[in-house]
Amino acid sequence: MASAAPKSSPKAGLDPRYRRFRIGAYALYLVVVSFVSLLVIKSVVSSVIEMTPGRKPPAEQTLTVAECLQRAEALFRELESERAKVSASYPAARSDLTWEQFRVGWIERYRDAESRCALESRSRPSLREVYDRLSRVMDLFTTSSVQYAGEAGGAVDALRDALAAARKEPAAGKLAP
């Protein structure tokens, strides 16, 4: 009768003398990974908090509806102007950084207007709608800016570089026969 080969367990090759060291290594690994994870989480949370200014308390003096609409229009013009600059910026692959700097200042101005316009008042639902939509447009423009920089920015920069290189060639200024 043939004897069956002994089954080897995963721990069969581990020397019991080093068990304490293995446990210590696992514990150290878990501590280091946990520490790094906490640093990353803290960094992300603080970045989000920094990039999104909070709401301001209602101002003592409330602006008129006309003044609030003028502010909303001015904020929208700022958005449109900056959005146009994103596609014209060089390098395009880094245009999202410029947008993010603009975004923080814009949100602070938006929060100021929001606090001075009494948007929570029952008598101003249409004004609240304007500011809600303005905020939504900012969110969409931010998404668009990040996507443009990440997806098209590199290709746009490469095209601009190729155009500049082609213009420097001696034959670029001559007409074909």
Section 21-46 average pLDDT? 92
pLDDT digits (tens, 9 = 90+) for 100-147: 888 989 999 999 999 899 888 888 889 999 999 999 999 999 888 888
- Give helix then strand counts, H and E, for the chain: 5, 0
Of 170 and 156, more confident: 156
Mean local confidence (pLDDT), 11-23:
83
Q: In whole angstroms, how far apart are CA 144 and each of 45, 83, 149?
A: 22, 9, 9
**Average pLDDT over the chain, rounded to whole?**
83
Three-state SS sequence of 141-175: HHHHHHHHHHHHHHHHHHHHHHHHHHHHCHHHHCC
Report the C-alpha gap between 36 and 19 in whole angstroms.
Answer: 26
Q: What percent of the chain has pLDDT over 70?
A: 87
Indicate whether 64 pLDDT > 60.
Answer: yes
Question: Highest mean pLDDT range out of 50-64, 121-135, 153-167?
Answer: 121-135
